[in-house]
Amino acid sequence: MKFRCERDVLVDALGAAGRAVANRGGSLPVLSGVRLEVAGDTLSLTGSDLDLTIGVEATVAGDGDGVTVLPSRIASDVARSLDAGSVSVATEGDEAHISSGRFESSIRVLPADEFPRLGAPAGEAVTLASGDFAAALRQVVPAASADDARPILTGVLMTPESGGLRLVATDSYRLAVRDLPGTSVLREGQSVLVPSRALRELERLLAGAEEVTLRLGERDATFEIASVRLTTRLIEGEFPNYRGLIPSSYPNRLTVGREPLIDAVRRVKLMAREATPVRLSMNGDGLELVAITQDVGQAHEQLDAKYEGAELTVAFNPEYLLDGIEVTPGDEITLETVDHQKPAVVRSVEGSEFLYLLMPVRV
Amino acid sequence: MAEHSILHVDMDAFFVSVELQRRPELRGRPVVVGGTGDRGVVAAASYEARAHGIHSAMPSSRARRLCPAAIFLPGDHHHYAEVSRRVMAVLTSFTPLVEPLSLDEAFLDVGGARRLHGPAPAIAEAIRRAVLDAEGLTCSVGVAANKFLAKLASEAAKPRASLQGTEPGEGVTVVEPGRELKFLHPLPVQALWGVGPATLARLDRLAVRTVGDLAALPADTVAAAVGEANGRHLHRLAHGVDERRVEPHVEPKSVGHEETFARDHHTRATLRRELVRLADSTAARLRRHELSGRTVTLKVRFGDFRTITRSRTLPTPVSSGPAIARVAKELLETVDPAPGVRLVGVSVRQLAHGAAHQLSFSEAAGGNWDDASEAIDSIRARFGDDAVAPGSAFGPGGPRVKRGGDQQWGPDAGAPPREPR
């Protein structure tokens, strides 16, 4: 196998595929590597930890077809250290030579025949504008759980809803729901649970892209953005009945400017240390934010707001609250509440495509 | 070196002395307090028992072999805690700077009390008299410039046991300013805090026998032999340096309970039941101190004493029994109990004040453990600890509620083996 390309082409390709490489030891040693395949003038790179696989294609000057697996970390460090310009990569026996200008290095390769073969993507291909999809991911993915002990909650549910696509995630403390109307990706009754880790990688890849092609199969989901293909294993199991969590009506409704609320929460939360919450006191005069941490200090701020309902004080984890308001679209948002122990909902005044449900902190 | 104003007060054979007040007929005889069962350990031994080589932390079965005539008493932790509270109150009447280390010892900083009570050695004598007057118990006091030397000094002040009889100690040992190294260097190197069997073996290769031998070595040599951090620490101690202050309010870093079984358990089902019980008591204690914690740790000791711990950190602090039990049971799933489990423990770390609790959707849907926990606490406050207990803690004899200090030294001989029917 032998090819030549610009340094930046190699750095970008190794970087993209390398993000799926298993960084935890213990799995197959070959998975610490990136698979390179040259066919004609096309270089294909693949990194995988068996759950997540990222493949990249690049056009190079090919000088001999073949396959090899390079240790991901070393190959990427070497490529990045080079000066801009032409790089050539060639394999010889169990070594790969990377050379550029007067620099040359030989790297011991990993056994290519042990690299897992990946099946062709299954499922019908649907192409979406990447902007909307990226925005939906940004709104929903942060609400997924990071706790591997509860695998179902680490996923994002993709499910058909009124002829469109709905994305749902919850870590059992908050719930984010986003609808993409008119986007028909799944059959009626077909839902998939996509690992949030894969979707975080997808978010990075979507930056600057124009469209994304989805294939949602039975066991895998595949996303294609330009020359990059990301495949992830789906999470098996039943997602909790999230509809049952959303209260049917809210007696109290606060309407407040989004930016002023974000700024105020950021300021006041500086005095909410050691898992203490920020309290929101709502009455006819508006909204007051208060944070008090014993032996540290306190902060409060009054905000103009419209409030309909009974006078109420409710406490939230400020990070969870910010996660919701920051991704709610529009200039004004509503916060609807039942009481100080029931879920509260954040919505945009302008549209109903996004909903963020949040449990209070009991003090 | 600084003025000597640090006192270490150590009660003499505390648990045994307290027992002897209730059973004066046993005075002068070898008495052992601790676990009386096969798996018990010695918590305290009278000086008469010590003369036979019995010491605390020794398995009770070995103590029996060493002195078949010894009288074994089960520990009464609650009573000792009560007496200890009264002793600590006596100490606090001399200075507010009292740092209890356990039920029977404490550090005091009397630097600010000297104007009122005289020089530190005089205060030490006064404390001995006051404790004796108030409780009829003797203690030994070390006086020195820092905690480490004060503790060694109180050890030097202790009574000595031999088969010929107990020789009374000095009661108060003062390490005079300027004479610290004269006191310290002849002591065996094991006297240093942090010298266990492994370190001792390494130091032995360097021909280090006394603290003075150690102090004579360059710091680098010590670090190379026993590791960087430990080496630095030992080198400082060997020169009598210890800058720890007396801290009257040391916040607990973790709260937990553990249970040693009379017979090894081999199934998760039995262990889960124990975990529910231990989690319930741990939660009750957290709430009593108005604390909640984020990291739950499960400790498992197997029949061969191999001990493992498994932890999980939660996004939000918890203080309810069911919340702690849920995590402990999940952690138990990663442990294979088949070889036989001798002890399980549950503890909670990363403690925070206040009971701020992030509610979850499951609590919105079905019941709220905070409300239930409050109800449990008020029922227990009125009707006693075993008035309410988790369902799985009920046996034929009613509920078994874990209390602080229960079978701290192993299950008692009288306790029936607990196996599921």
- For residue range A201-215, list pLDDT tens digits in order: 999 999 888 999 999
Q: How far is CA A95 from the centre of its chain?
A: 36
Helix, strand, or coil (residue A44): strand
CA distance A336 to chain B (A): 16
Contact A341 B359 (CB under 8 A): yes
State whether A60 and A29 are in the same domain.
yes
Contact A149 B312 (CB under 8 A): yes
Q: What value does the mean pLDDT take over residues B81-100?
A: 92
Contact A275 B294 (CB under 8 A): yes
State whether A56 and A88 are in the same domain.
yes
Q: What value does the mean pLDDT take over residues A250-279?
A: 92
Cα–Cα distance, A52 to A228 (Å, whole number): 13
> How sure is the predictor about B418, in pLDDT bands with cuts at 50, 70 and 90?
very low
Cα–Cα distance, A140 to B77 (Å, whole number): 53
State whether A145 and A63 are in the same domain.
no
- Could you report the per-residue pLDDT of A99-156, keeping only the tens digit for each? 999 999 999 999 998 888 877 777 788 898 899 999 999 999 999 998 777 889 999 9
| Per-residue model confidence (pLDDT) at position B413 | 52
State whether A142 and A171 are in the same domain.
yes
| Per-residue model confidence (pLDDT) at position B142 | 96
Token digits of residue A150: 């509860």
The answer for residues whose C-beta is within 8 angstroms of residue B383's C-beta and 6 or more apart is none
Q: Is B105 a catalytic residue?
A: yes
Q: What is the residue whose two structure tokens read 């000094």?
A: B153
Contact B358 A317 (CB under 8 A): yes
State whether A229 and A257 are in the same domain.
no
Chain A residue closest in CA terms to B314: A147
- Could you report the per-residue pLDDT of B12-32, keeping only the tens digit for each? 999 999 999 999 999 989 999
CB A359 within 8 A of CB A340: no
DSSP H or E run through A47: strand A42-48
Q: Which residues of A touch B317 (CB under 8 A)?
A: 275
Is A26 a domain residue? yes
| Contact with chain A for residue B361, Cβ under 8 A | yes
CB B48 within 8 A of CB B34: no
Lowest mean pLDDT among A20-29, B83-92, B403-412: B403-412
| Per-residue model confidence (pLDDT) at position B420 | 38
CA distance B280 to chain A (A): 20
* B250 has pLDDT over 60: yes
Residue B162, Cβ density class (10 Å: 0-12 exposed, 13-18 middle, ≥19 buried): exposed
Contact B364 A343 (CB under 8 A): yes
- SS3 percent helix, strand, coil of chain A, rounded to 5, is 25, 45, 35
* B297 has pLDDT over 80: yes
Q: Can you count the helices (H) and strands (E) in chain A?
A: 6, 27
A-proximal residues of B, 67-106, CB under 8 Å: none
Is A34 a domain residue? yes
CA distances (Å), origin A74, targets A33, A96, B40: 9, 12, 56
CA distance A10 to chain B (A): 40
Q: Which residues of A touch B353 (CB under 8 A)?
A: 274, 294
Domains and CATH numbers, chain B: 1-177 (3.30.70.270), 185-238 (1.10.150.20), 254-399 (3.30.1490.100)
| Count of Cβ atoms closer than 10 Å to residue B91 Cβ | 22
Q: What value does the mean pLDDT take over residues B275-290?
A: 90
Q: Which residue has the higher pLDDT, B216 or B367?
A: B216
Cα–Cα distance, A92 to B72 (Å, whole number): 78
Q: Which residues of B touch A294 (CB under 8 A)?
A: 353-354
| Per-residue model confidence (pLDDT) at position B311 | 92
> How sure is the predictor about B318, in pLDDT bands with cuts at 50, 70 and 90?
confident
Which residue, A88, A114, A140, sits at the end of a domain? A114
Cα–Cα distance, B159 to B140 (Å, whole number): 8
Q: Which residues of B touch A243 (CB under 8 A)?
A: none
Of B358, B361, B365, the CB nearest to A361: B358
Which residue, A114, A143, A178, sits at the end of a domain? A114
Token digits of residue A310: 């009974």
The percentage of chain B sitting over the pLDDT mark of 70, rounded to a whole number, equals: 90
Amino acid at A23: N
| Per-residue model confidence (pLDDT) at position B251 | 66
| Per-residue model confidence (pLDDT) at position B41 | 84
* B415 has pLDDT over 90: no
Of B312, B330, B358, the CB nearest to A359: B358
CB A280 within 8 A of CB A264: no
| Contact with chain A for residue B24, Cβ under 8 A | no
Contact A317 B354 (CB under 8 A): no
B411-420 burial, b at 16+ Cβ within 10 Å, e below that, comes to bbeeeeebee
Is A120 a domain residue? no
CATH code assigned at A140: 3.10.150.10
Token digits of residue B249: 């309010």
**Radius of gyration, alpha carbons of chain B:** 24
Cα–Cα distance, A144 to A176 (Å, whole number): 9
Give B156-160's long-range contacts (Cβ < 8 A, gap of 24+).
Answer: B158/B10, B158/B12, B159/B12, B159/B47
Q: Which residue has the higher pLDDT, B95 or B114?
A: B95
Chain A residue closest in CA terms to B355: A363
| Per-residue model confidence (pLDDT) at position B375 | 76
Cα–Cα distance, B307 to A119 (Å, whole number): 45
Cα–Cα distance, A321 to A174 (Å, whole number): 9
Q: Which of B418, B385, B413, B389 is nearest to B78 (CA)?
A: B385
> How sure is the predictor about B224, in pLDDT bands with cuts at 50, 70 and 90?
confident
What domain range includes position A253?
Answer: 246-358
State whether A266 and A233 are in the same domain.
no
| Per-residue model confidence (pLDDT) at position A201 | 93
Q: What is the 3-state secondary structure (H, E, C) of chain B?
A: CCCCCEEEEEECCHHHHHHHHHCHHHCCCCEEEECCCCCCEEEEECHHHHCCCCCCCCEHHHHHHHCCCCEEECCCHHHHHHHHHHHHHHHHCCCCCEEEEECCEEEEECCCCHHHHCCHHHHHHHHHHHHHHHHCCCEEEEEECCHHHHHHHHHHCCCEEECCEEECCCCEEECCCCCHHHHHCCCEHHHCCCCCHHHHHHHHHCCCCEHHHHHHCCHHHHHHHHCHHHHHHHHHHHCCCCCCCCCCCCCCCCEEEEEEEEEEECCHHHHHHHHHHHHHHHHHHHHHCCEEEEEEEEEEEECCCCEEEEEEEEEEEECCHHHHHHHHHHHHCCCCCCCCEEEEEEEEEEEEECCCEECCHHHHHCCCHHHHHHHHHHHHHHHCHHHCCCHHHEECCEECCCCCCCCCCCCCCCCCCCCCC
Of A275, A342, A360, the CB nearest to B317: A275
Is A250 a domain residue? yes
Q: Which residue has the higher pLDDT, B356 or A72?
A: A72
> How sure is the predictor about B377, in pLDDT bands with cuts at 50, 70 and 90?
confident
Of A276, A317, A360, the CB nearest to B354: A276
Q: Which residues of B touch A245 (CB under 8 A)?
A: 361, 364-365
Contact A275 B353 (CB under 8 A): no
Residues facing residue A98 across a β-bridge:
A89, A105
Which residue, A219, A242, A265, sits at the end of a domain? A242
Q: How far is CA A48 from the centre of its chain?
A: 17
Q: Which residues of A touch B355 (CB under 8 A)?
A: 362-363
State whether A41 and A142 are in the same domain.
no
Cα–Cα distance, A292 to A25 (Å, whole number): 44
Residue B297, Cβ density class (10 Å: 0-12 exposed, 13-18 middle, ≥19 buried): buried
Of B354, B360, B370, the CB nearest to A359: B360
- Could you report the per-residue pLDDT of A320-355, keeping only the tens digit for each? 999 999 999 999 999 999 999 899 999 999 888 999
Is A119 a domain residue? no
| Per-residue model confidence (pLDDT) at position B291 | 85
The percentage of chain A sitting over the pLDDT mark of 70, rounded to a whole number, equals: 98
Contact B356 A276 (CB under 8 A): yes
The answer for residues whose C-beta is within 8 angstroms of residue B411's C-beta and 6 or more apart is B35, B37, B39, B40, B260, B261, B262
Is A45 a domain residue? yes
* A78 has pLDDT over 70: yes
Contact B359 A147 (CB under 8 A): no
State whether A214 and A260 are in the same domain.
no
Lowest mean pLDDT among A296-300, B75-79, B348-352, B390-394: B390-394
Lowest mean pLDDT among B37-41, B44-48, B262-266, B341-345: B37-41
Total beta-carbon pairs less than 8 A apart between chain A and chain B? 66
Contact A173 B359 (CB under 8 A): yes
| Per-residue model confidence (pLDDT) at position B410 | 60
Cα–Cα distance, B233 to B195 (Å, whole number): 10
Q: What value does the mean pLDDT take over residues B40-51?
A: 89
| Per-residue model confidence (pLDDT) at position A250 | 92
Return the axis-axis angle of helices B228-238 and B219-226, rounded to nearest 10°. Answer: 130
Could you tell me whether strands A286-293 and A278-283 are parallel, antiparallel, or unpaired per DSSP bridges? antiparallel
Find which of A170, A359, A361, A363 to mutate to test the B interface (most B CBs within 10 Å of its CB).
Answer: A359
Is A184 a domain residue? yes
Contact A173 B364 (CB under 8 A): no
State whether A31 and A85 are in the same domain.
yes
> How sure is the predictor about A234, in pLDDT bands with cuts at 50, 70 and 90?
very high
A194-227 burial, b at 16+ Cβ within 10 Å, e below that, comes to bbbbbbebbeebbeebeebbbbbeeebbbbbbee
Q: Which of B164, B137, B161 is nearest to B45 (CA)?
A: B161
Is A287 a domain residue? yes
State whether A94 and A173 are in the same domain.
no
CB B149 within 8 A of CB B240: yes
* B160 has pLDDT over 90: no
State whether A192 and A276 are in the same domain.
no
Of B355, B356, B361, the CB nearest to A359: B361
| Contact with chain A for residue B355, Cβ under 8 A | yes
| Per-residue model confidence (pLDDT) at position B310 | 92
Contact B316 A275 (CB under 8 A): yes
CB A70 within 8 A of CB A34: yes
**What's the total number of domains in chain A?**
3
- Could you report the per-residue pLDDT of A81-93, keeping only the tens digit for each? 999 999 999 999 8
Average pLDDT, chain A: 91
Cα–Cα distance, B267 to B270 (Å, whole number): 6
Q: Which residues of A touch B362 (CB under 8 A)?
A: 172
State whether A212 and A268 are in the same domain.
no
Q: What value does the mean pLDDT take over residues B310-325?
A: 87
From the candidates B19, B48, B99, B105, give the one annotated as an active-site residue: B105
